[in-house]
Amino acid sequence: MEAILLVGGQGTRLRPLTISTPKPLLPTAGVAFLAHQLARAHAAGVTRIVFATSYRAEMFEAAFGEKAFGVELDYVSEARPLGTGGAIRNAARALRSEPDDPILILNGDILSGHDVRAQVALHTGADADVTLHLTTVEDPSRYGVVTTDGDGRVTAFLEKTNRPPTKQINAGCYVFRRSAIDGIADGEVVSVERETFPGLISSGRLVMGYVESGYWLDVGTPQAFVRGSRDLVRGEIASAAMPGEPGERLVLDGAVVSPRAVVRGGTTVGRGAEIEGGATVIGSILQDGAFVAEGATVRDSVIGRGARVGAGALLDGAILGDGASVGPGNELCGGLRLWPGISLPPTAVRFSPDA
């Protein structure tokens, strides 16, 4: 089975981490986020993946080459952003499948533990044109909601409404009949959510919903990105790509963690990073070469490559860009972000949205 992996977005919600690295390549539980998707795709029977790239397209092939995790890889780039449907149609020119073959479509910012094989089996058994993975959430107003009938056939696809009629949402993993992809306008900006799916439904084509409400997370925000890495480290979602066994922390080669430091909650300590004695790091990501000084506290935060946290400083839900530095005594809370290379001098100032 072939798949298309959508990785063209700029990841603006995750800046400054994505200024130099595309979101799907950000270190997540010790490896690039896409490594977890590639490993899961291989386990689901995928033998070949076409990357639909745009932003910093050259970095994907440099990261994974022609084959990874037992899957053959190819790369197709967009000269300009074409939307989800346009990106799928553009990448389809590299497919080798026949018109009736199933093509798996994966989103590069979704961490999901759902049964892909079962979704494909439903698709082929129903002889559907498209089969959507649907999951349920408590607040569906932030997502595209999908209604289905008693047989699982999709009856409506409603993109982000204030009064959703169901808690079923589009979870971002699709199985397309190859010929249905070929029906998308070539070279045009097309949204599958607003145009392709509603168009198929209105024309009477068979669109099925595969409903499974297991682990699912859109890692597009800083809070969700940290949570996804933390859940992988702790084994709340399994991944064959993760280096090491599940536990309270993942310490990569070359990292130094003082025995007097408290490091837990699914924290990842990157290669060459250092945590001094008396520091507390909980549920966070320290990228390669990061440094946390004695007495500092880091919670639910991301410390970029080579970034430094001074003695006694506090980070709670913060992001430090590559090479940034927080001097002793500072507090960064509530989602604040420090851009790459920026330094805060030693002081005793609390930086937060309500400060």
Beta bridge partners of 156: 147
Which among 303, 300, 291 is positioned nearest to 258, based on CA atoms?
291
Which strands make up the sheet holding 280-282, listed edge to edge? 262-264, 280-282, 297-299, 314-316, 331-333, 350-351
Distance CA 39, CA 44 (A): 9
DSSP type of residue 192: I
133/136 Cα distance (integer angstroms): 10
**Three-state SS for 93?**
helix
The set of residues, in sequence order, having a beta carbon less than 8 Å from that of 181 and lying 6+ positions away, is: 88, 89, 92, 95, 103
In order, the DSSP letters of 115-130 are: -HHHHHHHHHHHT-SE
Q: Which of 23, 67, 160, 167 is catalytic?
A: 160
160 belongs to the catalytic site: yes
Rounded to whole angstroms, the Cα distance separating 63 from 68 reads 10
Report CA Rg, the chain. 21
Distance CA(219)–CA(172), nearest Å, equals 12
CB 138 within 8 Å of CB 38: no
Please say whether the beta carbons of 222 and 334 come within 8 A.
no
Active-site residues, by number, are: 160
